[in-house]
Amino acid sequence: MLAFIKLNLENIQLSYPNYYLAIIVIIAVLFALGLYFKDKRIKENKSWLPSVLGALRFLSILGILFLLLLPLFKKFITEKQKPVVVILQDESGSIRSSTTSEALEQLETGKANLSAQLSEKFEIVELAFGENLSTSAKDTIIPQSTNISSPLEYISETFEDQNLGAIILATDGIFNEGKNPLYADMNLAVPIYPIALGDTTIRKDILIKNVLHNRIAYLNDKFAVEVDVQAYNSKGNKSTVTLHKVSGSTKTKIDSKGFTIDKDNFFKSFKFELDADQVGNVKYLVSVNGVSNEVSTKNNYRNVYIEVLDARQKILLLANAAHPDIKAIKRTIKANKNYELEVKYAKDDLALIRQYDLIIMHDLPSTKHKVSGIIQEINKIKKPVFYINGASTSMAEHNSIQEVIKVTGGNQSMNDITPLLNDNFDLFTLDEELGGDLRKYVPLKVPFGEYKTQATAKVLLHQKIGNVETKYPLLAFSDLNNHKQAVLGGEGLWRWRLYEYQEFEEYKHSQNLIMKTLQYISQKDDKRKFRAFVSKNSFKENEAITFDAQLYNENYESINTPEAKLTIKNADGEKFDYTFSKTNNYYNIDAGRFPEGNYSFTATTTYNGKDLSAGGKFNVESIIKEQYDLTARHGLLHDLTKKFGGAVVLPDNISSIGSALLESETIKPILYQKAETSPVLDLWWLLALLIFFLAMEWFLRRYFGSY
- What DSSP designation does 648 have? -
- Specify the pLDDT at position 506: 79
Residue 297: predicted pLDDT: 83
Least confident of 387-396, 462-471, 500-509, 662-671: 500-509
Q: How high is the pLDDT of residue 46?
A: 65
Residue 524 pLDDT exceeds 80: no
State yes or no: pLDDT of 278 exceeds 50: yes
Which of helix, strand or coil describes residue 570? Answer: strand
Query: Average pLDDT in the 393-412 region?
Result: 89
- Over residues 29-38, the mean pLDDT reads 75
Residue 639 reports pLDDT greater than 80: yes
Find, among 460, 458, 451, the residue nearest to 419 by Cα: 460
Question: Which one has a higher pLDDT value, 568 or 23?
Answer: 568
- Per-residue burial over 480-506, b = 16 or more CB atoms within 10 Å of its CB, e = otherwise: eeebbbbbbbbbbbbbbbebbeeeeee
CATH number of 83-201+631-663: 3.40.50.410
When pLDDT is averaged across residues 365-386 and rounded to a whole number, the result is 92
Return mean pLDDT, the chain. 85
SS3 state at 33: helix
Q: What is the pLDDT of residues 175-186, one digit of tens each?
A: 878 888 888 888
Cα distances from 3 to residues 6, 7, 477, in angstroms, run 5, 6, 90
Higher pLDDT among residues 59 and 603, named by residue:
603
Confidence of residue 45 (pLDDT cuts 50, 70, 90): low
- C-alpha 86/C-alpha 155 separation (Å) is 8
Answer yes or no: is pLDDT of 405 > 90.
yes
* 324-334 vs 493-504: helix crossing angle, rounded to 10: 60
Just give the CATH number of 313-522.
3.40.50.880
> So what's the architecture of 205-309 in CATH?
Sandwich (2.60)
Residue 360 pLDDT greater than 90, yes or no: yes
The predicted model gives 123-143 an average pLDDT of: 74
Structure confidence at residue 3 (pLDDT): 36
DSSP one-letter string for 428-493:
S---TTHHHHHTTSPPEEEE-SEEEE-TTEEEEEEEEETTEEEEEEEEEEEEETTEEEEEE--B-H
- Residue 625 binned pLDDT confidence (cut-offs 50, 70, 90): low
DSSP code for 626: G
pLDDT of residue 335: 82
Is residue 370 exposed (0-12), middle (13-18) or buried (19+ Cβ within 10 Å)? middle
pLDDT band at residue 53 under the 50/70/90 scheme: confident
* Confidence tier at 701 by pLDDT (50, 70, 90): confident
Provide the residue type at 516 as one letter.
K
Output the CA torsion 637→639→641→645 (10° steps).
Answer: -170
Local confidence band at 390 (pLDDT 50, 70, 90 cut-offs): very high
How large is the average pLDDT for residues 404-426? Answer: 89
The per-residue pLDDT for 647 is 93
Mean pLDDT of 435-464: 91
Which pLDDT value is given to residue 137? 52
Higher pLDDT, 560 or 681: 560
**Equal fold, 205-309 vs 530-621:** yes
pLDDT at 36 over 90: no
- Region 213-234 average pLDDT: 86
pLDDT at 286: 94
Query: Average of pLDDT values for 52-57?
Result: 80
Fold of 530-621: Immunoglobulin-like (2.60.40)
Query: DSSP string covering 665-691, please?
Result: SS---EEEEEEEEEEGGG-HHHHHHHH
Residue 468: Cβ within 10 Å count: 8
pLDDT above 50 for 31: yes
Q: What is the pLDDT of residue 5?
A: 40
Residue 691 confidence (pLDDT): 85
Given a cut of 90, whether residue 459 has pLDDT beyond it is yes
Structure confidence by residue, pLDDT tens digits, 155-166: 888 888 888 999
In this predicted structure, what is the pLDDT of residue 38?
65
What's the rounded mean pLDDT across residues 259-264? Answer: 92
- The percentage of residues in the chain with a pLDDT greater than 90, rounded to a whole number, is 37
Question: How many other C-beta atoms lie within 10 A of the C-beta of residue 220?
Answer: 13
Rounded Cα–Cα distance for residues 52 and 697 (Å) = 8
Residue 705 confidence (pLDDT)? 62
Read off the pLDDT of residues 287-317 as tens digits, 9 standing for 90 and up: 999 998 887 788 888 888 888 877 678 999 9
Q: Is the pLDDT of residue 642 over 60?
A: yes
Q: What is the pLDDT of residue 52?
A: 79
Provide the pLDDT for residue 281.
83
pLDDT at position 432 is 78
Distance of CA 417 to the CA centre of its chain: 47
pLDDT value at 6 more than 50: no
Q: Higher-confidence residue: 115 or 433?
A: 115
Give the pLDDT band (50/70/90) at residue 584: confident
Average pLDDT of span 394-399? 92
Give the residue extent of every domain in the chain. 2-77+678-703, 83-201+631-663, 205-309, 313-522, 530-621
Residue 663 has pLDDT above 60, yes or no: yes
How much is the pLDDT for 4? 39
Does the structure show a pLDDT above 50 at 7? no
Residue 653 has φ and ψ, to the nearest 5°, of: -130, 30
